[in-house]
Structure formats: structure tokens, C-alpha cells
Structure 1
Amino acid sequence: MSRICVYLGSREGSRPIFRQAAQALGTALAERGHTLVYGGARIGLMGELANAALEAGGSVIGVMPDHLVEREQAHFGLTELIRVANMHERKATMAANADAFIAMPGGIGTFEELFEIWTWGYLGLHEKPMGLLNIDDFYGPLLTFLDSTVANGFLAQATRDMLQDAQTPQALLSALDIRL
């Protein structure tokens, strides 16, 4: 069993497809016997993901800084809720408890977490697989931009290739499972 860290929004987004994808990913993680590691909230896509994993019989570890427990409305029905002192400790704890990383649609926090863990991989601080769940081409513009950074000589193709992407939870989990 692997522990999969998922970065995603504490908001639901503007279209039902994002909520449905979070639910599908949570269910798929549980059905494959993976433990979900995420930011610990019960709201937005984060809550949908955790609830789906729990409802499918999965294990869910949430990690949340003390100052956000009330603000983000922590999910107290998880297998485990790890409270930490700050955001830096949150990200380090999530990374230490994960065997792979997935970014779903989200905002600046999701982007920051994704790019930090990708940078850590580039620097050799981990060799864990990483992927984007590209629901309804949410990440299409980013992927085009990343390919442009390769074409313009600012990103090595090998570094770009570290970041898998797929449009469905099953396809992305299959791609990541190859390297788990």
C-alpha cells in the first residue's frame, strides 16, 4: 500500500466536474488500497476527496497547522489528523508521509505545493512520482507553458518528464503505479 499526497483546492471550483473528480480520485485511492495524505480540511475539493476515500473504506491522513484548524474547518473524521505549527511543517510532514504526489485543480496554495515538491525532486531530495490530474484540461495552459520552458532552454526535458499528467484518476494512478 502506498501513501499518496494530493494537493487540491479548499474551494469546490466553478463546475461540478471538479467535485466529481475529487470524489472519483478518493474512491480510486481507497479501492487500490492507497492511503490519502492531504491538507486536512473538510471543505471544498479537499473535503470531497477525503469523504470519498473514507466512504470507500480508505485510510486518510490530514495535516493542518494549528492556526488553520478553525479557519479551514478541519476534518475531524479522518483516520488521523496531524496538527503542526506552521505551513512549512505542514508541507514537510505531508511530503514525509507520502510515496507519490498528485495535484488536482486548485489555487495558489496548490500551485505552491506542486512546484515546491517538484523542485525538491529536481534537487534530488526525493525520487517519488508526481502527477497532475488534468480535469477538463484545467492544467492544459500550464503544460503548454512548461513545454515552452523546455523549448526555450529554461527547463530540461528530463525535469519536465518528472511530472506525469492524465485526465482521469484511474489513468493517473496507473501512470504513477508504474514507478511506485
Structure 2
Amino acid sequence: AECAHYRTCTDAAHRLLSELQEDSNLSLEQILRVKEWLCAVESQRSELTSAGLDSGIESTSMEDQGQEAQGSKVAKGQVSTEKCESIKDEQVAKLQRQVERLEEENRDFLAALEDAMEQYKLQSDKLQEQQDKISELHVRLEMAMPNLCVPGLLENLHLVTASQRPHTAPLDAAPSHGFGGVPSGLLPEQSGRALC
């Protein structure tokens, strides 16, 4: 009676898991676990039927018919086991293809990351060189002209007059400023105070 109860429970679980297997909401791992369990149950069933477990009360003619039925069940069990193995092999092959694809993507991303890091390093080095050059030029300027401030430096510049302007810079587009393009309010002579 206990064996019959377990068989009934196993049959119910087999039906339920067969229905779940058809459901597309399961993850790949869950599908594999369901298929593994179904294959194990079918394998056990085929072993039980091939072992000829019965009550032994049946007549000889029934035994002959039972042996034929068991032979067909064994064949069905082998087909089912082979089917489970082929499904498992397909799933393994599919997972291997996914792993290979992900590894290829990973290699591509790593190569792109290395290129980006190399570009960043080159740009960072160039920026540092430029900052060092600017600092060096500031030091040289202060050493060459220690007492001059910015307006003093501007007085030594040669400013372009309107007659010397290139043809590409039209006069009418320029804002109205005083001496040489410098707004009149910024010239030290006119404002009466130095900008230093």
C-alpha cells in the first residue's frame, strides 16, 4: 500500500512538472532541474518494469502478456531516457555557446577598456606637460620683468591700428572702443589711476 501511495505521488508530481516544463516563465536552471527529475523518474520506472516487480499471483498467460507489455515499456523507457539525454545534451551545448559568446564579448570589452585607458593616459600626460610649460613660462616672465604688472606689459605691446587691420576683419563689425580696440575706460592715462 505504501508503494502504491508513493507511485501515486510520483505520478502527480510527474504530471505537474511536465506542465511546468511547458511554461515559459521558468529560468534555464529551473528547466534543467525539472527535466533532470523527469528523466530520473522515467528511468526508475523503466528499471522497475524491466525488473518484473509484481505480486506473483497472476496466471501464466497473464505473465506472458505482462512480459510483452513490460518489453514495450522497457523500450519506451529507453526511448524516454535517450530523449532526456538528448535534451540534456542540447541544453549543455546551448549553455556552452552562451559561455563562448559571453567570453568573446568580455574580450572585446576588455580590449576597448584598454584602448580607452591608453588614450586617457596619453591625454593626461599631454595635459601635465602643458601645465608644466605654462608654469615654466610664468616663472620666466616674472624673472624677466619682476616689477611690471599687467598694464605695464600691455604698454609694451604693439597694438594694431584700424588702417593695419586685415581685410578679413571688417571695421563696421567692431564695437566702438578707444585706443587700438581697448575700451577707453580701461586705459590708465584716462582713468587717472594705475591698474596695478
Q: What range is the shorter-chain TM-score in?
A: under 0.3
TM-score, reference length from structure 1: 0.18
Higher relative contact order (CA 8 A, sep 6+): 1
Larger radius of gyration: 2
TM-score, reference length from structure 2: 0.17
